[in-house]
């Protein structure tokens, strides 16, 4: 059977790269006493994959992993037992058994579902924006000016090539405090069915693990994520800094992922990944 897990990654676990996180979870399942499903052949390995790999240095409230299991308990027990063997910095908040018929007869991998993600980008304490910008109000003003542009063209570098890309259509919204962000979510997601705990799924209500900083300079953003269109929050911040005449220091910003969304085939709207499992 296949299961999808939602977990938080925070604290110094942000220094663990996503491939190592996969290895970590493989071992964690073994420690919790569950047998995983293996690929066939002489060099069997566990079947496990991420929805959207998170870069080193980033934290998250919403990491999704699909894993094949041969033995399993109720979703509630699974969440409890796995959390018992996890290090501080990892915390499972949801477990869902995937069934063959969810989707169109075939199991869709978490990765294939991803369309968008919410991020909170905060200025770390001890870092400054430069140019005498001190308050979050000044930051907001600058960022709004940047976001109000018709087009935001950046030079997107890949391993092979560079090209000019307009990233503006890849940003669905921005907000500057929790209230605004919650309000946006409230009006877009209010009608979705509330998660239920049953024999297939289990949800834990966990407070966000995003680090808070005294300077309060931060921005919430919803960005295209996934194979069709992908925009990293770091690129937005770099573009913002260069546009506003600020020096971009990649280490000054803490990026925290808040949620991952899939796009509903019919309504075309974005739905959190754990609302469709």
Partner 1 sequence: MRKLALTDEVLLSVEKPARYIGGEVNMVVKDPNDVDIRFCICFPDVYEIGMSHLGIQILYDILNRREDTYCERVYSPWVDLDKLMRERDIPLFALESQEPVRDFDFLGFTLQYEMCYTNILQVLELSKIPVYANERTEDDPIVIGGGPCSYNPEPIADFFDFFYIGEGEAAYNNFLDLYKECKKAGKSKREYLELVSQIEGIYVPSFYDVEYNEDGTINSFKKNYENAPDRVKKQIEMKLSEAYYPTKPLVPFIRVTQDRVVLEIQRGCIRGCRFCQAGMIYRPNRERDVEYLKKCANEMLKATGHEEISLSSLSSSDYSQLQELVYFLIDEFGSKGVNISLPSLRIDAFSLDVMGKVQDIRKSSLTFAPEAGTQRLRDVINKGLTEDAILNGAREAFQSGWNRVKLYFMMGLPTETEEDIEGIAVLSDKIARVYYEIPKEQRQGKVSIIASTSFFVPKPFTPFQWCRMDTPEEYIQKQRFLRSKINEQLNKKSIKFNWHEAELSELEGVLARGDRRLSRVIYDAYMFGCLYDSWSEHFNYDKWMKAFEKNGVSISFYNSRERHEDEMFPWDIIDAGVSKSFLLREYRRAKSGKTTPNCRELCYNCGAKKFGGGVCVGGFEMPNHADGINRNGSIKQEASNES
Smaller CB separation from partner 1, 21 or 114: 21
Tell me if 251 contacts partner 1 by CB under 8 A: yes
Q: Residue 24 or residue 173: which is nearer to partner 1 going by CB?
A: 24
C-beta of 38 vs 264, nearer to partner 1: 38
Whether the Cβ atoms of residue 255 and residue 57 lie closer than 8 Å to each other: yes
Is 40 a binding residue for partner 1 by CB under 8 A? The answer is no
Beta bridge partners of 117: 223, 260
Could you tell me which of 42, 43, 57, 50 has the C-alpha nearest to residue 25? 50
Does the protein bind partner 1 through residue 169 (CB under 8 A)?
Answer: no
| φ/ψ bin of 103: left (φ > 0), alpha (ψ from -120 to 50), beta (otherwise) | left
For residues 199 to 238, the per-residue mask of contacts with partner 1, x marking binding by CB under 8 A and - elsewhere, is: ----------------------------------------
Could you tell me if 66 and 49 are in contact, meaning their C-beta atoms sit under 8 angstroms apart? yes
Q: Is 264 in the site for partner 1 (CB under 8 A)?
A: no
Q: Per rule CB under 8 A, is residue 2 in the interface with partner 1?
A: no
> What is the residue whose two structure tokens read 């897990």?
5
For residues 235, 213, 216, 166, the Cα torsion angle rounded to the nearest 10 degrees is 10
Closest CA to 85 of 131, 26, 156, 22: 26
Q: How far is the CB of 232 from partner 1 (least distance, A)?
A: 15
From start to end of 109-252, where are the E strands?
A: 114-123, 153-157, 162-166, 171-175, 201-203, 218-224
What tokens does 152 get? Answer: 């935001």
Contact between 53 and partner 1 per CB under 8 A: no
Residue 61-90 contact track with partner 1, rule CB under 8 A, x = bound: ------------------------x-xxx-
Residue numbers at the binding site for partner 1 (CB under 8 A): 11-13, 15-17, 20, 23-24, 26-31, 33, 35-36, 38, 41-44, 46, 56-57, 85, 87-89, 124, 250-251, 254
């Amino acid at each position: 059977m296949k299961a999808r897990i939602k977990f938080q990654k925070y604290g110094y676990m942000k220094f663990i790269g996503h491939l190592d996180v996969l290895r970590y979870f493989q071992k964690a399942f073994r420690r919790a006493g569950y047998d995983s499903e293996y690929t066939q052949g002489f060099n069997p390995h566990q079947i496990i994959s991420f929805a959207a790999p998170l870069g080193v240095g980033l934290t998250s409230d919403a990491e999704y992993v699909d894993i094949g299991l041969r033995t399993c308990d109720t979703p509630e027990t699974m969440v409890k037992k796995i959390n018992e063997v996890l290090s501080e910095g990892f915390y499972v908040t949801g477990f869902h058994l995937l069934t063959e018929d969810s989707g169109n007869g075939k199991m869709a991998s978490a990765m294939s579902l991803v369309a968008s993600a919410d991020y909170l980008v905060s200025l770390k304490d001890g870092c400054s924006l430069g140019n005498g910008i001190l308050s979050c109000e000044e930051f907001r003003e600058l960022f709004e000016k940047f976001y109000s542009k018709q087009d935001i063209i950046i030079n997107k570098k890949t391993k092979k090539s560079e090209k000019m890309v307009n990233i503006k259509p890849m940003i669905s919204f921005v907000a500057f405090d929790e209230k605004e962000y919650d309000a946006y979510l409230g009006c877009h997601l209010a009608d979705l069915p509330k998660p239920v705990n049953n024999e297939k799924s289990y949800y834990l209500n966990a407070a966000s693990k995003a680090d808070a900083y005294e300077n309060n300079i931060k921005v919430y953003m919803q960005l295209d994520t996934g194979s069709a269109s992908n925009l990293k929050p770091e690129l937005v911040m770099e573009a913002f800094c260069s546009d506003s005449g600020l020096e971009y220091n990649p280490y000054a910003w803490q990026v925290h992922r808040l949620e991952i969304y899939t796009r509903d085939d019919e309504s075309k709207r974005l739905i959190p990944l754990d609302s469709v499992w």
